Amino acid sequence: MQWSPRSGEVVATAVVGLGLALAVVLVDPVGRVLLGGAALLLLGLAAHDALLRPRVRADGAGVTVRGLTRATTIPWPRLRARLRTQRRWGVRTRTLELEDAADDTVLLVLGRRELGTDPEVVVEALHAAGAGG
């Protein structure tokens, strides 16, 4: 099992970033700074999502989450997977929390955009595969 940002969203982010980069030549100097910064941000986000595929992978050894500098693997017996639901400013958000029961320093929090699906679906799949709650 594996989860990644949806390909369509990655492509759309890259296209909007390129559009903003092209629009830089049409605006005044202040607009160039703003549009240039937004373009760099969106292109960086698209590159991040494209390079870190799959973001989360579950196999026989446990769950592996890829990051920019390294991948973190949590074995099944030590894995705790939880769904966290929060409300802020009237908006409900769900996140997947992956925790290593043996190492208090490992807590990974992933949202819907990073997983490409609702975190509740991922939590259910991980619990069915052997993760603790």
The pLDDT value recorded for residue 108 is: 87
- 11 and 76 share a domain? no
Point out the domain boundary residue: 51, 68, 89: 51
- Comparing 101 with 23, the larger pLDDT belongs to 23
- 24 and 68 share a domain? no
Task: Tell me the residue range of the domain where 113 lies.
Answer: 56-129
Nearest to 84 by CA among 130, 42, 119: 119
The pLDDT value recorded for residue 132 is: 66
Nearest to 95 by CA among 107, 103, 106: 107
Q: What is the pTM of this model?
A: 0.79
- 32 and 68 share a domain? no
